[in-house]
Each structure stands twice: as C-alpha cells, then as structure tokens.
A and B are shown apart, each in its own frame.
Chain A
Amino acid sequence: GDSVTQMEGPVTLSEEAFLTINCTYTATGYPSLFWYVQYPGEGLQLLLKATKADDKGSNKGFEATYRKETTSFHLEKGSVQVSDSAVYFCALSNTGTASKLTFGTGTRLQVTL
C-alpha cells in the first residue's frame, strides 16, 4: 500500500539557518504530494502541494519539488524564523484511493534565537 517516510525529529536550528526535512514515498500510480504544518495547539494547515512530477510547490518561503525518479518531496526553506517552529507532515493522495490522505509521522522543528 501507499506509505510516506519522514526524517525523525526533532530538528533544532538557529534562526536564519537553512532547513531541509526529508520525505520519501511509496505509491502506485501518480499521487499528489502535500506538506502540512501543525502549530502548537492547532489543527493541520496545508503548506504547499505538487500534483505531478517536477512540479514545485511553494508558500511562505518554503519549497518542495516532486521528484518521481527518487520518489521524494523534501521540504526546504532558506532562512528559518522562530515562528516556523511547528510539526511538519508530508502526505500523499492517490488517484486510486479517493479521499484518503496518507500521512508521514511528522517532523518537529524547533527554531531558536
């Protein structure tokens, strides 16, 4: 079945550091890929998405490129802020599993001054 693997956290960075959170997936067909973010005490919010190979999703300075050859969708940001501290979830949705999002286990990011 479909699955998503994320790097273990927590990830601790200083403000203005470069961020990479790795995400790889296993799926048949041509899934859509998502990054969701969860701030403390809140529900998940869509951060960005990509719906086909080589698409780049971007939002709020975050980017991720859909790489079909490496089945990856790594999240990057050039300069993190304290306000980026949150849990980040990689997810996929497959054309053959209407409605279901398959989530990774989440990666906690802590940004310090």
Chain B
Amino acid sequence: NAGVTQTPKFQVLKTGQSMTLQCAQDMNHNSMYWYRQDPGMGLRLIYYSASEGTTDKGEVPNGYNVSRLNKREFSLRLESAAPSQTSVYFCASSEQVGWDSPLHFGNGTRLTVT
C-alpha cells in the first residue's frame, strides 16, 4: 500500500546544478501536483497535472519544469538550482482536479542548494 512515493528523500546541490525529483502514485489517480513547503509560508503549488498529457503552472512555477510521464509518474526538474529553491518538496495526487477531491501526499524531498 505505497500511495505516493518520492525519490530521493534528501539532496544537496551546488548553485547551477540540475536535478529531477521523481514521484509515482499507485492509486490510479488522474491528477498530480508538486508543492514546496517553506517555514512560515505553508505549502505553495508549483505545477500540477490535471490528467495524463496535461500540465499547468501553479503559484510559484519559475525555475521549475515538470513532465507527466504517464498516469503514475510526475517529475519535477530544476534546470539550474538556486539557493532560493532550498525547500521541502511534496508530490501529491488526487482522483481528479476539483474542489472536493482530497490530496494524498508523499513523504517529501528535502533539497538544499548551496
């Protein structure tokens, strides 16, 4: 009963390096999301995918790209990491996009950019 699985759990990057955060869900959910969590700011939506083949920007998309590889997988890419991207990143999924569909979260990736 894995739910939403994120890899890696921890990562340290130097400024300018690139990396991809991986996310997979096994609940046959249609919609997937990437959030970042920063102290005192709650969670903010980076990108989401309403269904396989579609992606849309959230509140804080700058510096990120996403790929919805298939229904199960949704990756987040940092092309040139910056210290401002130091954060905890959460992937989530839901049955559908919509106001009444609760999110299921992974355990997060803690990223530090030096």
Chain A residues near B (Cβ < 8 Å)? 4, 31-32, 34, 36, 41-46, 49, 51, 89, 93-95, 98-101, 103-106
Contact = CB atoms under 8 A, between A and B. Distances in A.
A99 B51 CA distance: 11
Interface in B17-67: 31, 33, 40-45, 48, 50, 56, 58-59
B16 interface: no
A43 B106 contact: yes
A49 B40 contact: no
A89 B43 contact: yes
A45 B108 CA distance: 12
A44 B105 CA distance: 6
Contacts of B104: 46
A97 B101 CA distance: 13
A51 B108 contact: no
Given A32-B99, A89-B42, A103-B42, A43 B4 contact: yes
Contacts of A42: 107-108
